[in-house]
Structure 1
Amino acid sequence: MTEAIFVINAGSSSIKFKLYRLAGRDVALLLGGAVDGIGTRPRLHATDEAGAVLVDRSFPPDEIARPSQAQHAISEWVAPHMADVELIGVGHRVVHGGPHYDHPERVTDEVLRTLESFIPLAPLHQLTNLDPIRVIRERRPDLPQVACFDTAFHRGHPEVADRFALPNALYDDGVRRYGFHGLSYEYVSGALRELAPKLARGRVVICHLGSGASACGLLDGRSLDSTMSFTALDGLPMGTRCGALDPGVVLHLIEQKGMSAAEVGRMLYHDSGLKGLSGLSSDMRELLASDQPAAALAVDYFALHVAQEVARLAVTLGGLDALVFTAGIGEHAPEIRARICARLGLLGVTLDAAANDASETWIDADGPGPHVLVIPTDEERMIALATLNLLRPAA
């Protein structure tokens, strides 16, 4: 039997999964895939370790309208592939670890109860993250499960970056800037360190641009500041989330427009961002392909606000040595990278147009300005390694 770790990365619109075999203190991919387009264009696809397609199946929207239905589809498909595998554990991405968890934790009743208390802080994600944990605990209570937190990478922020300008009692009660996408930032910063060790020790901004979007400023591989804060709603505009917003708008909607807190929450999380601006779609690919003025506005708004946040983070870092793009839009949308970088000329950022169009690793033009890179992220590998290290500590 092959010892292995199964990884589940449940997001707001997709559920990714990967199966890794143990290879000493490392892990090696056996298969991986995802169900994406949940509720809109559901599709289950998976490949083996060599990239050969194992399944590519589309579903009617109502057949996989919820994450729980996606989990069921994954379980049904993956079961025959587990016949010769002995799982030592399952690793999960959990978006919010709150003030309690700054490293991966084995899931217990107490840990699960604590994580459930953070659902209001990440309503798009936390519940989805915890559902597979509950299902596996019911079916395989003996199987160890490990929660890996998107907030953990940012827990070393200096206090000045963690605080809101609110009364101290609220900070002591956990109202602070947590930051998210930490598993992605940890992986990409490690990949940069292998690729260019000297550069990785410098002042780096990583832009994780996907359906959820954020940016992180790192010095010597350590997070100093991030655009997301108390919840995954803050910062950059996203697929359906508004990003940074004057809190007075929320008060206005409740007090003057008569909206309930639940109605405001739904609008800010589900009907804003690219979807709200364009009135068409939350998918950047569709917006780039559209000739509608509202689509063009959404794209321009996104690029402008990413550039503004990169500049802000450069102030925190005291300069900029490298700008790194990752995640779905960051890795696969050359036009968006070009629009963002065109606004960052004041920082000396320049692109090699051909390298950018080809999505090469190094896409900056020769010159004295910051390096610009495209580095694919791999949150699932980070989760697998964290799970291995927790369940099988090094001697």
Structure 2
Amino acid sequence: MTAILTLNAGSSSIKFGIYDTAPEPDLLMSGQVENLGPLARLELAGQSPAEIGPADHETAMAVILEAAGPVLAGRRVAGVGHRIVHGGKSFGAPMLLTPETLAQLRTLVPLAPLHQPQNLAAVAASQAAFPDAVQVGCFDTGFHKGHPFVNDAFALPRKFYDEGVRRYGFHGLSYDYITGVLRRDWPALAAGRVVIAHLGNGASMCAVQGGHSVGSSMGFSALDGLPMGTRCGQLDPGVLLYLMDQGLGRDEIARMLYHDSGLKGLSGISHDMRTLLRSDDPRAGEAIDYYVFRIRRELGAMAAVLGGLDGVVFTGGIGENAAPVRARVIEGMGFLGLDLDPAANDASATRIGTGATEILVIPTDEERVIARAVAAELAG
């Protein structure tokens, strides 16, 4: 028997899945090592979390392979699929990770320094563990390729656009999965104008028309757009010039923007929305206020990009589970046809709207998108 392993290495977690190799892969096991750092924990579907203590991405990979041992017993891992955050100008569709491809992907590390090194480290670890397996990369930027020029470009000298300084957009695997669910279960909505809000430790929003991305809140890097767990979101570049004038170096600024900003920086308490929602500290409330404000602002902008709005989909860890955040985002949005059913929202039902514009909560499944790509490669 054979199996597919998927690895989704993010900035603070590594998610994994084990699937059979049928045309539509069936999930055999899933889990993640989350909260990477001094207090990491292993979460396996259907089991209570297990504290594993200090862990970085390398340690987490070893923990995952050990946990997967019983399920993989008697199965040969025929293919491993990887989430690769940045595909740059060249990479869109899933592809085999050859030495030449990996060399090109390493040149993109400066575009996604928080993610790309971890993604590529996971590839190296899986190559060592499963040397005969097919390795397939799936690109988070791929869903957004083909954007209109006005969404891709910055108002900088044109040579920089030609060199690749442009908006790429991210969370493409999540948007790919959600649009697939819409085509299957909500075909009329899938053909229309939808804003998908992927809200988690990383957060972004995407304007989708007829199943295709026409606008994204994220830009050149995974820092832009909405505030996130530890990342700043949209920022006036003049702030960076000011900080440099005050003597902060490149590494200090990068550390602040990627690791010490967002919900964590605003609250001074935590990057975790669950913790902030439970807190009575005024700073926690202010951080949530800012987070909600920026989502609402981006929702209005995306509706303008689309020329109207037929539906909104919440997904991601916060989008799927934080009913108070969803309620505050939708409050007062009746002018866009958005009205909330409070009981359905509190229950995190699939359909939580009562107005002319649909409001849905759909759990995302980036790993399944990756598994499908590997299965397609194995099928030839």
Q: Distance between the aligned counterparts of 1:373 and 1:275, measured in 2?
A: 28
Residue 45 of structure 1 and its aligned partner are, at CA, apart by 2.0
2:34 aligned residue: 36
Is the 2:314–2:361 contact (alpha carbons within 8 Å) kept by the matching residues of 1?
Answer: yes
Which of 250, 267, 275 is 1:286 aligned to?
Answer: 275
Asked if residue 57 in structure 1 is aligned to residue 50 in structure 2, the reply is yes
Q: Distance between the aligned counterparts of 1:124 and 1:38, measured in 2?
A: 13
Asked if residue 97 in structure 1 is aligned to residue 96 in structure 2, the reply is no
Output aligned runs, 1:298-309, within 5 Å.
Answer: 298-309=287-298
Deviation string 1:276-327 (CA, Å, 9 cap, x unpaired) is 0000000000001000110000001000100100110110000010000001
Residue 37 of structure 1 and its aligned partner are, at CA, apart by 1.2
- What letter is aligned with 1:128? Q
What residue ranges of structure 2 are gaps of 5+ in the alignment? none
Q: Distance between the aligned counterparts of 1:138 and 1:385, measured in 2?
A: 23
2:18 aligned residue: 19
* Poorly superposed stretches of 4+, deviation over 6 Å: none
Asked if residue 247 in structure 1 is aligned to residue 237 in structure 2, the reply is yes
Asked if residue 375 in structure 1 is aligned to residue 362 in structure 2, the reply is yes
Residue 80 of structure 1 and its aligned partner are, at CA, apart by 3.3
Which of 143, 163, 167 is 1:177 aligned to?
Answer: 167
Residue 40 of structure 1 and its aligned partner are, at CA, apart by 4.5
Asked if residue 201 in structure 1 is aligned to residue 191 in structure 2, the reply is yes
1:188 to 1:251, Cα distance in 2 relative to 1, 3 A:
same
Is the 1:104–1:390 contact (alpha carbons within 8 Å) kept by the matching residues of 2?
Answer: no
Residue 139 of structure 1 and its aligned partner are, at CA, apart by 4.0
Q: Distance between the aligned counterparts of 1:98 and 1:344, measured in 2?
A: 36
TM-score by length of 1: 0.94
Q: Distance between the aligned counterparts of 1:267 and 1:346, measured in 2?
A: 37
Asked if residue 335 in structure 1 is aligned to residue 321 in structure 2, the reply is no
Q: Distance between the aligned counterparts of 1:294 and 1:343, measured in 2?
A: 24
Question: Please, which moves more after superposition, 137-146 or 383-392?
Answer: 137-146
Is the 1:311–1:344 contact (alpha carbons within 8 Å) kept by the matching residues of 2?
Answer: no
- What letter is aligned with 2:370? I
Residue 194 of structure 1 and its aligned partner are, at CA, apart by 1.2
- What letter is aligned with 2:367? E
Q: Distance between the aligned counterparts of 2:360 and 2:67, measured in 1?
A: 36
Q: Distance between the aligned counterparts of 2:313 and 2:129, measured in 1?
A: 41
Is the 2:338–2:358 contact (alpha carbons within 8 Å) kept by the matching residues of 1?
Answer: yes
Q: Distance between the aligned counterparts of 2:77 and 2:260, measured in 1?
A: 40
Q: Distance between the aligned counterparts of 1:97 and 1:42, measured in 2?
A: 29
1:259 aligned residue: 248
Q: Distance between the aligned counterparts of 2:11 and 2:353, measured in 1?
A: 32
- What letter is aligned with 1:147? G
Is the 2:77–2:130 contact (alpha carbons within 8 Å) kept by the matching residues of 1?
Answer: no
Is the 1:9–1:16 contact (alpha carbons within 8 Å) kept by the matching residues of 2?
Answer: yes
- What letter is aligned with 1:378? D
Residue 43 of structure 1 and its aligned partner are, at CA, apart by 1.2
2:103 aligned residue: 113
Is the 2:82–2:370 contact (alpha carbons within 8 Å) kept by the matching residues of 1?
Answer: yes
Is the 2:7–2:82 contact (alpha carbons within 8 Å) kept by the matching residues of 1?
Answer: yes
2:345 aligned residue: 356
2:314 aligned residue: 325
Q: Distance between the aligned counterparts of 1:343 and 1:242, measured in 2?
A: 26
Asked if residue 80 in structure 1 is aligned to residue 70 in structure 2, the reply is yes
Residue 343 of structure 1 and its aligned partner are, at CA, apart by 4.3
Residue 108 of structure 1 and its aligned partner are, at CA, apart by 0.9
Q: Distance between the aligned counterparts of 2:200 and 2:191, measured in 1?
A: 26
- What letter is aligned with 2:65? S
1:235 aligned residue: 225
Question: Please, which moves more after superposition, 222-231 or 159-168?
Answer: 159-168
SS, match of residue 382 in structure 1 = helix
Deviation string 1:237-293 (CA, Å, 9 cap, x unpaired) is 0000000000011111112x1011111011000000000000000000000100011
Q: Distance between the aligned counterparts of 1:118 and 1:390, measured in 2?
A: 24
Is the 2:78–2:132 contact (alpha carbons within 8 Å) kept by the matching residues of 1?
Answer: no
Q: Distance between the aligned counterparts of 2:211 and 2:263, measured in 1?
A: 31
TM-score by length of 2: 0.98
1:154 aligned residue: 144
Is the 2:29–2:71 contact (alpha carbons within 8 Å) kept by the matching residues of 1?
Answer: no
Is the 1:161–1:225 contact (alpha carbons within 8 Å) kept by the matching residues of 2?
Answer: yes
Residue 137 of structure 1 and its aligned partner are, at CA, apart by 2.4
Is the 1:307–1:343 contact (alpha carbons within 8 Å) kept by the matching residues of 2?
Answer: no
* Alignment root-mean-square deviation, CA: 1.2
Q: Distance between the aligned counterparts of 2:38 and 2:293, measured in 1?
A: 28
